[in-house]
Structure 1
Amino acid sequence: MAMESPLMEPLLDSNDRAPAHVDTPGEHGDAAADESSAVVGNGTDAEESIEKKTVDGDDDGEEGDEMSASVQRRLDEIGGAGNEEEEEEEAGDDAEADEMAARMERRLAALPGKPHVSELYTIFRVAGPMRDRNRHLYEPQMVSLGPFHRGAGRHLDAMEAHKWRYLRDLLARGGGGKSGGATLADYARAARAMEPRARRRYAEPVALPPGEFAEMLLLDGCFVVEFFLKGEDREDDALIDASWAMQNVFNDLILLENQLPFFVLERFYNIATGGLGRDHFVTKVLVNYLTVDMGAARDAEPRRAPDGEIHHLLHLYYHWFLPPEDRPAGSDPAAAGSGSGKSEEDAFDEWISKPMEERVPLTLPSASDLKNAGVTIRAKKSPRSLVDVTFDPRGGVLEIPAVESYTNHVVFANLLAYEQSRGRWELQRLVSYVLLMESVVSAAHDVEILQRAGVLVKGGEDTAAFYAHLAGELCPPPEFVNNCYADLFRDVREHCGRSWNRHRAVLVHDYFSNPWTSMSAAAAVFLLVLTVVQTVYTVLPYYNPP
């Protein structure tokens, strides 16, 4: 060839230098090719050169071995440099990790409580979706207590100024000898001492410094104590005595998000009264307000303060509204067959083999359907609480406590929210009651049936919508409720499923629903009997001739 393109050279020779060109001797001289030209040379010519070297003999084979060794050494050097960089990165990562761990350790050390010991959170915000659609049911309208709604809006400013007047009135009570000369410093020292414990009762971090948090406890706590003391003494208060204002303040005092720990109120009450104690505060003062809007529960047997710690005013109201009851007998499905001669294991297997709707019915039929199935609905006499609903399977009688007042959405909404904040293993009695009433009162005709039965004393057209809103907006889905009426639901549905009960109900409804239909039915039966007797006397001579 006259002018042949230079062949691709080996990357390095044995001395780590670019080797001489291996083309035909003398054609291009002894000029050395640098590494870059070696890399980008003509690939086809390189292949031909390599083949030629292989054919030429052992010398070319030795050069190939040297080239391979040289390339391997270069690769080892490159690999070694990469390892050094990785080691440096690992060392850097270790330093950053140590710094991050130290920072997180400081954060962990600042957490209150101990590992595996749950904090006693008692004051929560209502769950997001439920709260977003019903903000007016959970946010204060006149007075804010605690940190969640502090400074939330201008509509609360008037009562913020009024709190200072109440504090002045409470301090003035010391002049009458009630508090033994308590001073503002006494209240301040008590507030500072209670600040860490009170802060831990809130389920969300509170950004207020300790001093401001303690001042908030003092001002809000003394306002609540003086509010109840004024009520006990029947003192005039132009702002609170307005009818619309009194209801708003009462509602604000029982909002779940608007609570103060009860031990704060108890401590300030003891300072203000010279140590009358919790029982006096609860039974002589608070009960006058906690029974204002309790309906059937107001007529129940006298109650005392709950055992153990009272969390806040809403907890106390819930206790008065729904006093503790034992878990209904037979609520354990395995025990349901213990009286039928079956073992617990067999009874449980039989129970678990049934469809879900038969195992744990989620709803009841409406009042109209219950009536058509032969169930009699009555107002329960002397109920223990609003949720004291019972069913007698033998007589088919469903007894529900009378509801005198049902329109206070705020009360029900916050009682429901509190009940759902207590823990997933607790019986949800108020949620169960709302779901029961929502299923029974599903239409205007059902409201009329419950009115005639005496269950709804003041029921109206909005009753069905009221329970539908509570069940649909403020309660969890029925399948996630620890329902206290599971056995009752099952017994009612079994009763309604028997054909004889339904036929008997139709007979009573069609022929014995009023005196006139009863007389007509009786006359028809009498004529039928006469006809049968006449027929018998007519036929007998034929078979027995004289």
Structure 2
Amino acid sequence: MDSPLMKPLLVPNNHSPGPVVAATPGEHGGAAADESSTLVDAASGTDESHRALADADVKMNDDGDVQGDELSASVQRRLDESSAVEGEDEEEEIGDDAEADDMAARMGRRLAALPGNAHESEPFTIFRVAGPMRDRNRHLYEPQMISIGPFHRGAGRHLAAMEEHKWRYLRDILARPGGATLASYARAARSMEASARRRYAEPVLLPAAEFAEMLLLDGCFLVEFFLKGQESAEDALIDASWAMQNVYNDMLLLENQLPFFVLERFYDLATGGLGRDYFVTNVLVNYLTVDMCVGPRDPESTRPPDGEIHHLLHLYYHWFLPPEDRDGSGTGSKDKEDGEALEELMSTSADERMPWQLPPASELKDSGVTFRAKKSPRSMVDVTFDRRSGALEIPAVESYTNHAIFANLLAYEQSRGRWELQRLVSYVLLMASVVDARRDVEVLQRAGVFVRGDEETAAFYAHLGELCPPPEFVNNCYADLFRDVLEYCGRSWNRHRAVLVHDYFSNPWTSMSAAAAVFLLVLTVVQTVYTVLPYYSQN
């Protein structure tokens, strides 16, 4: 049953309660009629209570409406903000997709312009020398007189004077009888532009036409320079010895190279097609064998190398270090089976498996190692060690080249690949460890390895050793030789014999004194024997 006090709460808001219609008994029965009569009486008889309840109802409804309006407005604001954010996100997503498509299209055009194919190694053969040692030795790697190639093009005023000589040499090569026209050279340069550009390990920013012009000027200069030298033609540049030496040095710098196929092409155009072998042989004989001589050379070393020639420095490296077997460089051969050798190798420590350097020559001598100048070496790095006699044979060094050529040969060898055998780096590290001081130079000079020896010789190898990578990162061709030498020095008998020779047979007087002492000792023993024998014979 509904309470009479609840009825006014059902009155609609903002409406006064109207007359209450009593229910008839027929509709709800007698109980309902009585209840309705009671409500009517209460409504009509108690005005103050009714007004109080009505006022309370209006107040509650007003407060609820205000709070509801505020809640509704807050929710609507949140919905509007959410809709706005979603709209902005949709706009941003649409904008981001468009920007991403533009970026992908731009990068796709860059990828499509790259030469070569995916997972295909680039044919880099001309590099810049990297590392902190380059910063301290720029004079060893940068041209001093003439720029060849793009790396040092227009690098300084000291190179500008030779640019005019390039144009003069181009005029001379075009005036050769039977030679090609300038248009033929230009077409050849343009056809080689893309392939030549790919040989440089750094991006070359020159446009295609300017890069081809550089190939034409620099390539024709080198070809004409070789032809003038071969013909002994009068030329102020070649006749001046200082200029000749500077040009010779600059064209053997790693950073100052042209791809060799460019020179071959221009040489064919200038000579009417004499061929690659003829060109290479004449360059070797007339230019690349005038320095760093190490004695008589095998005629086979002047033959053109097999395969592609990368550049002039590569050709010089081939002459300086002709191919040879690994065993020929002092590695030696083992008679043990591979399994036994591997087991023995892994049972030793890392330092014993791969010794990084040798003791100085004076210490090796005290340990029983003898030094000899190697007879008829195949190359400058043909160093061998005899484990039975303890003789370390090193090719005699008859003359020294300047630091620049040696430094660039080292740099080129390190650019060939990490799996290539680094013979020249190995040789420099060997000599730098053996030649540590003036007394070591004297030991090798007495052995005939050095024709002349002084403190500058030790400094020369020490400086070259600084241009090499750390020994543990070198594919050293003397690894077995190092182990054999250290094993030989570790034998006690060899050390004692060396001490005996050093202390008692180092000069004639000590040798005579030692011999006299031994003779007296023998006489004393004989006298003792003859004194004791009669006693035993009587008994």
TM-score bracket for the superposition, by shorter chain length: 0.7 to 0.9
Structure 2 matches for 1:174-213, cutoff 5 A? Answer: 174=177, 180-213=178-211
Which residue of 1 is the match for residue 38 of structure 2? none
Which residue of 1 is the match for residue 109 of structure 2? 106
Structure 2 matches for 1:107-122, cutoff 5 A? Answer: 107-122=110-125
> CA separation of 1:370/1:107 partners in 2, compared to 1, >3 Å: closer, same or farther?
same
Q: Tell me, what secondary structure is at the counterpart of 1:458?
A: coil
Which residue of 2 is the match for residue 132 of structure 1? 135
* Contact 1:166-1:226 at 8 Å conserved across structures: yes
Which whole-Å CA distance do the structure 2 matches of 1:239 and 1:369 have between them?
A: 50
CA shift for structure 1 position 301: 4.1
Is residue 416 of structure 2 the alignment partner of residue 422 of structure 1? Answer: yes
Which whole-Å CA distance do the structure 2 matches of 1:355 and 1:392 have between them?
A: 24
Which one has the bigger helix percentage?
A: 2
What are structure 1's unaligned runs of at least 5 residues? Answer: 1-23, 39-66, 175-179
Aligned partner letter, 1:248: N
Which residue of 2 is the match for residue 245 of structure 1? 243
CA shift for structure 1 position 29: 10
> CA separation of 1:459/1:349 partners in 2, compared to 1, >3 Å: closer, same or farther?
same
Aligned partner letter, 1:236: E
Which residue of 1 is the match for residue 532 of structure 2? 539
Which residue of 1 is the match for residue 502 of structure 2? 509
> CA separation of 1:296/1:36 partners in 2, compared to 1, >3 Å: closer, same or farther?
farther
* Contact 1:444-1:461 at 8 Å conserved across structures: yes
Aligned partner letter, 2:511: S
Aligned partner letter, 2:532: V
Which residue of 2 is the match for residue 231 of structure 1? 229
CA shift for structure 1 position 284: 2.3
Which whole-Å CA distance do the structure 2 matches of 1:428 and 1:36 have between them?
A: 88
Which residue of 1 is the match for residue 5 of structure 2? none
Which residue of 1 is the match for residue 390 of structure 2? 396
Which whole-Å CA distance do the structure 1 matches of 2:241 and 2:64 have between them?
A: 107
* Contact 1:330-1:487 at 8 Å conserved across structures: no
Which residue of 1 is the match for residue 100 of structure 2? 97
> CA separation of 1:124/1:228 partners in 2, compared to 1, >3 Å: closer, same or farther?
same
Higher mean C-alpha displacement, 391-400 vs 529-538: 529-538
Which whole-Å CA distance do the structure 1 matches of 2:127 and 2:475 have between them?
A: 21
Q: Tell me, what secondary structure is at the counterpart of 1:399?
A: strand
Q: Tell me, what secondary structure is at the counterpart of 1:295?
A: coil
Q: Tell me, what secondary structure is at the counterpart of 2:327?
A: coil
* Contact 1:403-1:455 at 8 Å conserved across structures: yes
* Contact 1:146-1:217 at 8 Å conserved across structures: yes
* Contact 1:291-1:298 at 8 Å conserved across structures: no
* Contact 2:385-2:481 at 8 Å conserved across structures: yes
1:177-212 Cα distance to aligned partner (Å, 9 max, x none): xxx242222211211111111111111111111111
Q: Tell me, what secondary structure is at the counterpart of 1:400?
A: strand
1:45-68 Cα distance to aligned partner (Å, 9 max, x none): xxxxxxxxxxxxxxxxxxxxxx8x
Which whole-Å CA distance do the structure 2 matches of 1:227 and 1:36 have between them?
A: 99
* Contact 1:146-1:259 at 8 Å conserved across structures: yes
CA shift for structure 1 position 31: 6.7
Residue identity over aligned pairs, in percent, reads 74
CA shift for structure 1 position 37: 12
* Contact 2:445-2:453 at 8 Å conserved across structures: yes
Aligned partner letter, 1:293: D
Which residue of 2 is the match for residue 324 of structure 1? 323
Which residue of 2 is the match for residue 306 of structure 1? 305
CA shift for structure 1 position 28: 11
Which whole-Å CA distance do the structure 2 matches of 1:71 and 1:235 have between them?
A: 99
> CA separation of 1:87/1:210 partners in 2, compared to 1, >3 Å: closer, same or farther?
same
Aligned partner letter, 1:147: P
Which whole-Å CA distance do the structure 1 matches of 2:426 and 2:109 have between them?
A: 45
> CA separation of 1:525/1:158 partners in 2, compared to 1, >3 Å: closer, same or farther?
same
Which residue of 2 is the match for residue 173 of structure 1? 176
Aligned partner letter, 1:309: E
* Contact 1:229-1:285 at 8 Å conserved across structures: no
CA shift for structure 1 position 501: 0.4
Q: Tell me, what secondary structure is at the counterpart of 2:237?
A: coil
Which whole-Å CA distance do the structure 2 matches of 1:36 and 1:325 have between them?
A: 98
CA shift for structure 1 position 543: 2.7
CA shift for structure 1 position 73: 8.9
1:529 to 519, 522, 525: 522
* Contact 2:441-2:457 at 8 Å conserved across structures: yes
Q: Tell me, what secondary structure is at the counterpart of 2:221?
A: helix
Q: Tell me, what secondary structure is at the counterpart of 2:176?
A: helix
Which whole-Å CA distance do the structure 2 matches of 1:204 and 1:297 have between them?
A: 38
> CA separation of 1:72/1:157 partners in 2, compared to 1, >3 Å: closer, same or farther?
closer
Aligned partner letter, 1:135: R
Is residue 212 of structure 2 the alignment partner of residue 214 of structure 1? Answer: yes
Which residue of 1 is the match for residue 39 of structure 2? none
> CA separation of 1:524/1:35 partners in 2, compared to 1, >3 Å: closer, same or farther?
farther
> CA separation of 1:124/1:237 partners in 2, compared to 1, >3 Å: closer, same or farther?
same
Which residue of 2 is the match for residue 5 of structure 1? none
Aligned residues: 484
> CA separation of 1:226/1:32 partners in 2, compared to 1, >3 Å: closer, same or farther?
same
Q: What RMSD over aligned residues (CA atoms) do the two structures have, in Å?
A: 2.8
Which whole-Å CA distance do the structure 1 matches of 2:204 and 2:73 have between them?
A: 69
Is residue 112 of structure 2 the alignment partner of residue 147 of structure 1? Answer: no
Q: Tell me, what secondary structure is at the counterpart of 2:520?
A: helix
* Contact 2:179-2:270 at 8 Å conserved across structures: no
Aligned partner letter, 1:412: F
Which whole-Å CA distance do the structure 2 matches of 1:152 and 1:146 have between them?
A: 11
Aligned partner letter, 2:413: E
* Contact 2:295-2:398 at 8 Å conserved across structures: no
Which whole-Å CA distance do the structure 2 matches of 1:157 and 1:424 have between them?
A: 37
Which residue of 2 is the match for residue 351 of structure 1? 345
What are structure 2's unaligned runs of at least 5 residues? Answer: 1-55
CA shift for structure 1 position 489: 0.5
1:334-369 Cα distance to aligned partner (Å, 9 max, x none): x95xx34x661x532431231111000000110001
Q: Tell me, what secondary structure is at the counterpart of 2:344?
A: helix
Aligned partner letter, 1:190: A
Is residue 378 of structure 2 the alignment partner of residue 384 of structure 1? Answer: yes
Give the greater-gyration-radius structure (CA): 2
CA shift for structure 1 position 407: 4.5
1:386-422 Cα distance to aligned partner (Å, 9 max, x none): 1111001011000001112224100111001100111
Which residue of 2 is the match for residue 481 of structure 1? 474
* Contact 1:121-1:201 at 8 Å conserved across structures: yes
CA shift for structure 1 position 506: 0.7
* Contact 2:179-2:271 at 8 Å conserved across structures: no
Which residue of 2 is the match for residue 282 of structure 1? 280
Aligned partner letter, 2:158: H
1:366-397 Cα distance to aligned partner (Å, 9 max, x none): 00011001101111111111111100101100
Q: Tell me, what secondary structure is at the counterpart of 1:240?
A: helix
Displaced runs of 4 or more, over 6 A: 24-29, 31-38, 69-77, 329-333
> CA separation of 1:343/1:247 partners in 2, compared to 1, >3 Å: closer, same or farther?
closer
* Contact 1:228-1:286 at 8 Å conserved across structures: no
CA shift for structure 1 position 286: 3.6
Q: Tell me, what secondary structure is at the counterpart of 1:257?
A: coil
Q: Tell me, what secondary structure is at the counterpart of 2:371?
A: strand
Aligned partner letter, 1:521: A
* Contact 2:329-2:382 at 8 Å conserved across structures: no
Which whole-Å CA distance do the structure 2 matches of 1:410 and 1:332 have between them?
A: 29
1:480-507 Cα distance to aligned partner (Å, 9 max, x none): 0010100000100000111110000111
Aligned partner letter, 2:355: P
Aligned partner letter, 1:489: F
